[in-house]
């Protein structure tokens, strides 16, 4: 026993004396890499660039940008009410501070831009075996830089252009660059990217930035930079107008916009998506197909994508589907959008026309049927629980009365807030989103991985046509504009536009609203055109449909309880108050 204790004493002493060598404290992390390791390995550099793609967002987050416009009502609010009522302040920008809008959010965009700067500071020392890869990655990061700034500038106006990687002990305060400098910087990055990238990416590179995409960003931002928003004084007196306006010659601005759009078209690499020639099928599959001759730059998704704000596209059927399909309604189209879909003869729908008011969903622009679910719209098979009520699978909004007036016994529609299933997930407007939702996906099981694999297309030829047409109209080249507008209308079987002058401008704006619905265009268009006071200053409305025993069906438009209002200040988001406080060189946007 004495020996045991002697041995133990020696062991303890050995352990403890060994401790005097404190090398064992020098552990290294087992789950992360050092900076040097990254820039020494081309494969890791490529992964680093991949990360920058993750931030570019997509259009099918649970809360869509369209719900901050006159496209839809987001029933769960999530800060959209502040935006549509123009209640945002520098301390509260509502949904614009939510993760769903990361691709536009000041903090996130600057995070990715820091990665871009870090990339450019290091890329030339990476030992590439294939120099083409270095060039391609540089081109991609120029594209991504342009993309991030074009989001930030369109939402905030002139922003600080950061071209270095900040470290902890740097001087951080920077001023905002003028709007013109910002646009020039975006254009320069587009041009650089275009010079380094192929027109299209293919094979393993499909989905990476390409030359066409770079030119498409340029088209979009130059159109924006030619618009009324940045040339007219909507803000009164403001200490630094060059943060929100560009000035200069409008004609040359519109010409630049026209040329930028033309540059994309002149690549001759894309054509309108019309594989079948059927208007409804073509316009539907344009947003579902993984490949299309119209897609310029898209992001792809697979079923196993997760729930985080970067990947949630795959859940769109659940986010937006009707409650009668065990989904959550989410972004529900409002009546104002529905009413803007033309009749098939190209005339405006009119509630004062008794024939149209009695059958409002008949003879409408095929894009209506492909974009919006309405009462009696054919849709997929119901969940087992409701198949007895609706064996066919049609959207059910109307209330069916046993008698001839509203006091009689009634049965509510399956997809309403009074329906038999998940009433709290019913929409208020009587419409559900259909565009870019895959009918083959059962929303009931999306929660558990039965997701959709629908891509998100950031740029497509259709938008370029519209950009081109708008620039042409503003330059007085009406006929040139109509060629491209009517190509789009022809694809969906709508009659040609024949107007000229301001009437043409209004038809064009109408056409853009419909063609680009739910593609994150409307929010910027109403601001570019300074038409917020006309289009955004009215409460959300929806439809109520009553069917009586005698066969009468009455459609009536009701407010849905979402208060809206317009304030010109919301043409741009405010700089967050905390950011203003941290960086005294910043100047707040007008009106805040």
Partner 1 sequence: MRNARNYLFLWGRSLLTLLLFCFSIGLVSAQQITVTGNVTSATEGTIPGVNIVLQGTTTGVITDLEGSYSIVVPGPDAVLVYSFIGLVTQTVIVGNQTTIDLVLESDVSELDEVVVLGYGTQKKATVTGSVSAVKGEALKSIPANNVSNTLVGQVAGLMVVNRSGEPGADDSQIRIRGINTLNNSQALIVIDGIANRDGGLSRLNPNDIESITILKDASAAIYGAQSANGVIMITTKRGKAGAPEIGFSLNMGMNQPTRLPDMLNGPDYAQMLNELDEYRDRDERYTQDQVNKFGDGSDPFRYPETDWYAETLKDWSPQGNANLTLSGGSEAVKYFISAGGTYEDGYFKNSSVGYSQQNFRSNIDAQITKNIKLRFDLSGRHEDRKYTQMRGGTTFRFLQGMKPIEPAFWPKRSTDTERLPGPDFEGGSNPAVTSTDITGYNYDNNYIFQSNVGLDITELFTVEGLSFVGNIAIDESFREFKNWKKPWILYTWDKETMNENNEPDLVGSVKGIAAPELTQESRRSKSFTGNMRLNYTKNFGEHIVSVMAGIERQTQTGYYFSAYRNGFVSDQLEQLDFGANNTSKTNNGSLWESARLNYFGRVNYNYSNKYLAEFVFRYDGSQIFDPKYRWGFFPGVSLGWVVSEENFMSDVSWVNRLKLRGSYGTMGNDKIDPYQYLGTFEFGGNYIFNEDVDTKSLRPSSVANVGVSWEVAKNANIGIEGGLFDNKLSFEFDVFRNVRTDILYPANAAIPLTAGFSPPDQNIGEVKNQGFDLSLNYIHTINKDLYWSVGFNGGWAKNEIVFWDEPAGKLPWQVSTGKPMGGQLLYNALDVFIDQAAVDAYPHWPGARPGDIRFEDVDGDGEITVDDRVRTDKSNFPTFVGGIPIAFGFKNFELNILMQGAAGAEQYVQVPSGEFGNYLQDFADGRWTSENPNSNKPRAFNRTDEYWISGRNTHFMRSTDYLRMKNVKLSYTLPQSLVSKANMKYVQVFFSAMNVLTWDTYKVFDPENSSQNGGSYPQRRLFNLGVNITL
Find the binding residues for partner 1 in span 136-195 (CB under 8 A). 160, 162, 165-168, 170, 172-174
Site string for partner 1, 562-591 (x = CB under 8 A): -x-x----------xxxxxxxx--x-----
Distance CA 298, CA 458 (A): 6
Query: Among residues 260 and 575, whose Cβ is nearest to partner 1?
Result: 575
Cα 451 → chain centroid: 19
Does 396 bind partner 1 (CB under 8 A)? Our answer is no
Q: Of residues 384, 405, 440, 479, which one binds partner 1 by CB under 8 A?
A: 384
The answer to whether 520 contacts partner 1 (rule: CB under 8 A) is no
Asked if residue 404 binds partner 1 (CB under 8 A), the reply is no
Run of H or E residues at 506? helix 501-515
Q: Does 471 bind partner 1 (CB under 8 A)?
A: no
2 contacts partner 1 (rule: CB under 8 A): yes
Q: Where are the alpha helices (DSSP H) in 362-459?
A: 366-371
Which contiguous run of DSSP H or E holds residue 411? strand 410-411
Distances (CA, A) of 267 to 140, 196, 201, 395: 19, 15, 14, 43
Beta carbon nearer to partner 1, 229 or 560: 560
According to the binding rule CB under 8 A, does residue 445 interact with partner 1? yes
Say whether residue 350 binds partner 1 (CB under 8 A). Answer: no
Burial of 415 (0-12, 13-18, 19+ CB in 10 A): buried
* 338, two tokens: 């529905």
Q: Which stretch binds partner 1 (CB under 8 A): 199-207, 346-354, 458-466, 478-486?
A: 199-207
Residues 407-436 binding partner 1 (CB under 8 A) are 412, 417-418, 420-426, 428
Q: Which of 141, 217, 338, 386 binds partner 1 (CB under 8 A)?
A: 386
Q: Contacting partner 1 (CB under 8 A), which of 42, 558, 568, 587?
A: 558
Report the residue number, 130 or 502, with the smaller CB distance to partner 1.
130
Query: CA–CA separation, 239 vs 588, rounded Å?
Result: 10
Nearer to partner 1, 86 or 500 (CB): 86
Shortest approach of partner 1 to residue 7 CB, angstroms? 10
Span 488-517, contacts to partner 1 by CB under 8 A:
none
Length of the chain: 592
Q: 433: which residues sit within 8 A by CB, 6+ positions away? A: 72, 320, 330, 331, 332, 333, 371, 372, 373, 518
Please report whether residue 351 would count as binding partner 1 according to CB under 8 A.
Answer: no
As given in the structure block, the two tokens for residue 74 are: 């987001």
Q: Which of 128, 238, 447, 529 binds partner 1 (CB under 8 A)?
A: 447
User: Does the protein bind partner 1 through residue 440 (CB under 8 A)?
Assistant: no
Backbone angles phi, psi at 123, to 5 degrees: -60, -30
Closest to partner 1 by CB, 320 vs 486, is: 320
Integer Cα distance of 49 and 53 in angstroms: 7
CA 398 from chain centre, in angstroms, equals 31
Q: How far is the CB of 501 from partner 1 (least distance, A)?
A: 38
Task: Look up residue 240 and give its two tokens.
Answer: 């630094």
d(CA 226, CA 35): 42
Contact 71, 337 (CB under 8 A): yes
Q: Which long-range contacts (CB under 8 A, 24 or more apart) does 480-488 make?
A: 481/508, 485/511, 487/272, 488/272, 488/462, 488/515
Size of the site for partner 1 (CB under 8 A): 124
In which element (H, E) is residue 406 found? none
Report in angstroms how near the CB of residue 141 gets to partner 1 at its nearest: 14
Give 483's Cβ-side CA count (13 Å radius): 5
Which contiguous run of DSSP H or E holds residue 555? strand 553-559
**Candidate residues 293, 449, 476, 501; the one interacting with partner 1 per rule CB under 8 A:** 449
Task: Report the C-alpha gap between 427 and 384 in whole angstroms.
Answer: 21
Query: Under the criterion CB under 8 A, does residue 448 sit at the interface with partner 1?
Result: yes
Radius of gyration of the chain (CA): 27
Binds partner 1 (CB under 8 A): choice among 102, 115, 335, 396 = 115
Q: Does 352 bind partner 1 (CB under 8 A)?
A: no
561 binds partner 1 (CB under 8 A): yes
Of 163, 233, 385, 506, the one binding partner 1 by CB under 8 A: 385
Per-residue interface string for the shown chain with partner 1, residues 527-546, x marking contact by CB under 8 A: -----------------x--
Structure tokens at 41: 């390995």
**What is the distance between the alpha carbons of residues 143 and 118, in angstroms, rounded to a whole number?**
15
| Closest to partner 1 by CB, 283 or 456 | 456
Residue 359 is a binding residue for partner 1 (CB under 8 A): no
> Residue 482 carries which DSSP code?
H
- Report 274-333 residues binding partner 1 (CB under 8 A): 290-291, 299-306, 308, 310-311, 326
The whole-angstrom separation of Cα 326 and Cα 532 is 35
Residue whose CB is less far from partner 1, 356 or 562: 562
Per-residue mark of binding to partner 1, 19-58 (x: CB under 8 A): xx-x-xxxxxxxxxxxx-xx-----x--xx-xx-xx----
- Each residue 232-271 as x (binds partner 1 by CB under 8 A) or -, in order, gives ----------------------------------------
Q: In terms of CB distance, is 310 or 511 closer to partner 1?
A: 310
- Interface with partner 1 includes 15 (CB under 8 A)? yes
Q: Is 389 in the site for partner 1 (CB under 8 A)?
A: yes
Q: How far is the CB of 487 from partner 1 (least distance, A)?
A: 27
Using the rule CB under 8 A, is 405 a contact of partner 1? no
Alpha-carbon distances of 183 from 4, 85, 332, 527, rounded to whole Å: 80, 29, 34, 17
């Amino acid at each position: 026993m004495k020996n045991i204790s002697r041995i133990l004493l020696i062991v303890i002493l050995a352990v403890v004396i060994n401790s005097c060598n404190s090398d064992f404290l020098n552990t290294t992390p087992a789950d992360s890499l050092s900076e040097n390791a990254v820039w020494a390995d081309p494969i890791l550099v490529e992964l680093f660039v991949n990360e920058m793609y993750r931030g570019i967002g997509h259009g099918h987050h649970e809360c869509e940008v369209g719900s901050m416009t006159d496209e839809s009502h987001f029933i769960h609010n999530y800060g959209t009410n502040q935006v549509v009522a123009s209640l945002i302040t520098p301390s509260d920008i509502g949904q614009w501070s939510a993760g769903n809008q990361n691709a536009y959010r000041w903090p996130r965009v600057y995070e990715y831009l820091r990665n871009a700067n870090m990339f450019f500071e290091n890329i030339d020392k990476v030992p590439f075996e294939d120099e083409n890869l270095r060039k391609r990655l540089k081109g991609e990061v120029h594209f991504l830089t342009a993309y991030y700034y074009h989001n930030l500038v369109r939402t905030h106006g002139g922003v600080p252009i950061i071209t270095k990687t900040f470290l902890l002990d740097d001087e951080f305060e920077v001023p905002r660059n003028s709007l013109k400098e910002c646009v020039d910087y975006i254009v320069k990055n587009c041009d650089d990217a275009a010079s380094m990238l192929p027109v299209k990416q293919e094979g393993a590179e499909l989905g990476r930035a390409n030359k066409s995409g770079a030119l498409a960003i340029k088209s979009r931002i130059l159109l924006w930079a030619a618009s009324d928003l940045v040339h007219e004084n909507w803000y009164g007196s403001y200490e630094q107008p060059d943060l929100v306006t560009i000035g200069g010659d409008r004609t040359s601005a519109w010409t630049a916009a026209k040329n930028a759009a033309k540059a994309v078209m002149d690549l001759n690499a894309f054509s309108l998506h019309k594989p079948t020639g059927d208007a409804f099928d073509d316009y539907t599959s344009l947003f579902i197909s993984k490949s299309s001759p119209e897609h310029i730059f898209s992001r792809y998704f697979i079923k196993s994508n997760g729930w985080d704000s970067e990947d949630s596209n795959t859940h769109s059927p659940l986010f937006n589907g009707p409650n009668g399909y065990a989904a959550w309604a989410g972004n529900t189209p409002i009546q104002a959008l529905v009413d803007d879909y033309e009749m098939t003869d190209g005339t405006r729908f009119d509630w004062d026309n008794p024939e149209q008011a009695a059958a409002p969903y008949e003879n409408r622009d095929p894009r209506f049927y492909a974009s919006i679910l309405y009462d009696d719209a054919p849709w997929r098979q119901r969940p087992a629980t409701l198949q007895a009520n609706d064996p066919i699978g049609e959207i059910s909004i109307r209330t069916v009365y046993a008698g001839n007036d509203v006091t009689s016994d009634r049965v509510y529609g399956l997809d309403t807030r009074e329906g038999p299933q998940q009433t709290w997930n019913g929409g208020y407007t009587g419409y559900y989103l259909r565009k870019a939702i895959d009918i083959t996906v059962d929303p009931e099981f999306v929660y558990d991985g039965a997701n959709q694999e629908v891509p998100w297309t950031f740029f497509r030829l259709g938008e370029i046509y519209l950009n081109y047409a708008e620039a042409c109209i503003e330059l007085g080249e009406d006929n040139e504009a109509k060629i491209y507008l009517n190509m789009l209308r022809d694809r969906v079987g709508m009659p040609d536009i024949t107007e000229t002058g301001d009437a043409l401008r209004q038809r064009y704006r109408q056409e853009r609203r419909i063609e680009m619905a739910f593609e994150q265009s409307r929010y910027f268009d109403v601001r570019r055109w300074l038409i917020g006071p006309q289009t955004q200053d009215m409460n959300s409305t929806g439809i109520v449909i009553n069917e009586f025993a005698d066969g009468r069906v009455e459609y009536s438009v009701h407010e849905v309880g979402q208060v809206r209002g317009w304030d010109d200040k919301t043409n741009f988001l405010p700089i967050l108050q905390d950011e203003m406080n941290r960086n005294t060189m910043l100047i707040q946007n007008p009106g805040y």
